[in-house]
Amino acid sequence: MTRPPTSSRTDKGVRGHELDLHVTFAQPLPREVALAVLRSAEGFTVDLYAPHAAAGSPVPSARLTGPLRDAETLRAVLGGWLSGQVRTVEVGLHGFLRSSTGQTDWMPWRRNQVLSRAQVGDVRFEEGVKYVLE
């Protein structure tokens, strides 16, 4: 009896790490102002966290995701945010598994590191480490 060939391919999606930023504003901002503040971090997908019931409701926080292009530039952006209208930032290279259908499963953070807002320069963007700047 001849068996059909079996595939040795185990490709179940794309794995990697992506920059994941959660920004909490010092006070909820109008949508346009929130987008203007976040604009300094170019090239990221932005999700504003605001109640869906009222389109004009203030935005208390946002999430930005995408590839890390330039760590020094991003540190400068984080410092600017924290000296202005942002209360806290959670940032790190988050592990993920993206299925062939496009669904993304995020891996748990390996470690959390809490830093003061003055320690932006200590953010190392290590894979699986979430830095909390407050």
pLDDT (0 to 100) of residue 98:
81
- State which residues form the domain around 39: 18-133
> Does 61 fall in a domain?
yes
> Does 84 fall in a domain?
yes
Report CA-CA distances (Å) from 3 to 6, 7, 9.
8, 12, 17
> Does 1 fall in a domain?
no
> Does 100 fall in a domain?
yes
> Does 93 fall in a domain?
yes
> Does 119 fall in a domain?
yes
- Tens place of pLDDT per residue across the chain (134 aa): 444 444 334 445 788 899 999 999 999 999 999 999 999 999 999 999 987 656 678 999 999 999 999 999 999 999 999 999 999 999 999 998 888 887 888 899 999 999 999 999 999 999 999 999 99
Q: How many separate domains does the chain show? A: 1
For 17-70, give the DSSP string. Answer: EEEEEEEEEEEEE-HHHHHHHHTTSTT-EEEEE--SS-TT--EEEEEEEE----
pLDDT (0 to 100) of residue 103:
82
pLDDT (0 to 100) of residue 100:
80
